[in-house]
Amino acid sequence: MVDPAASTTASRPPAGRREPRPAAVEPCPECGALLGRGYPRCAICHAAVERYWRADWAALLAAEGIAPGSADERLLAEVVVAELERHPWTVVDYALTLLRCPECGAEWGGGPPACAACAMAFGNLWAPGLEAGATMNEHALRVGRWVARHPHRHSATVVAGWRLSLPLLLAGALPTTAEAQRINAWLKAGGDAADLAGPRTFAAIAAHARRDGAPR
Ligand SMILES: [Zn+2]
Ligand SMILES: [Zn+2]
């Protein structure tokens, strides 16, 4: 019988910290972009991002004595989503990736913007308490994963900004407010994110955006 509540009270490392982060921002050996930027299409970038979520989910499966890929795993995912405030963000996010939306049939929370069931699932992800103990970097990495995973739910500018940020967030960096605003303004003004493929710090990306002025 599935009893995920038992493991929520057991001592465990904070969500998303079972695997080490990359020590530096480096290119992906598979797609050549900075590691993480190819998420979710490139297999190596996908694994580089997803490993933090997967590790926490695997620990929950182990604690419950449930085999990956089993019918019980799916049942566990349903239980987690039904009582998501009792679980950390990595576990809730991962549970949704295992389930299909009852209304539109897409990955739950990732269907077309018009799907009410997906909108509700996505909205519930940001309930207070779900990210208890998370750092701002971890919150940003979480948002970046959702946006890159389901880009059709967001504007092209928003998607470009988060894709640009993912490799840096993965390595633990966080833009200052001024840097984030500068980069977003530049993208909104028509700046091509491909021009910013090289810089490996938010300061360098923002500096490029500043030098470039407002394109078009
Ligand atoms: Zn890649
Ligand atoms: Zn849906």
Instruction: For 78-130, write each residue's pLDDT tens digit.
Output: 999 999 999 999 999 999 999 999 999 999 999 999 999 999 999 999 987 89
- Tell me the C-alpha distance between 164 and 144, whole Å: 9
pLDDT in tens, 43-74: 999 999 999 999 999 999 999 999 999 999 99
Residue 15 lies in a domain: no
Q: Which two tokens stand for residue 144?
A: 């970046």
- Tell me the C-alpha distance between 187 and 182, whole Å: 9
pLDDT of residue 216: 46
- Tell how far the Cα of 139 is from the centroid of ligand 1, in angstroms: 22
- Quote the distance between the C-alpha of residue 195 and its chain's center: 23
Residue 19 lies in a domain: no
Identify the nearest ligand to the CA of 30 by its number.
1
Residue 140 lies in a domain: no
Identify the nearest ligand to the CA of 150 by its number.
2
Q: Which domain holds residue 71?
A: 30-135+148-154
Q: Give the SS3 label for residue 136.
A: helix
Residue 188 lies in a domain: no
- Considering the entire predicted model, what is its pTM? 0.92
Residue 38 lies in a domain: yes
Residue 123 lies in a domain: yes
- Tell how far the Cα of 165 is from the centroid of ligand 2, in angstroms: 27
Residue 14 lies in a domain: no
Report the sign of the C-alpha dihedral through residues 184, 189, 192, 196, in that order.
negative
Total structural domains within the chain: 1
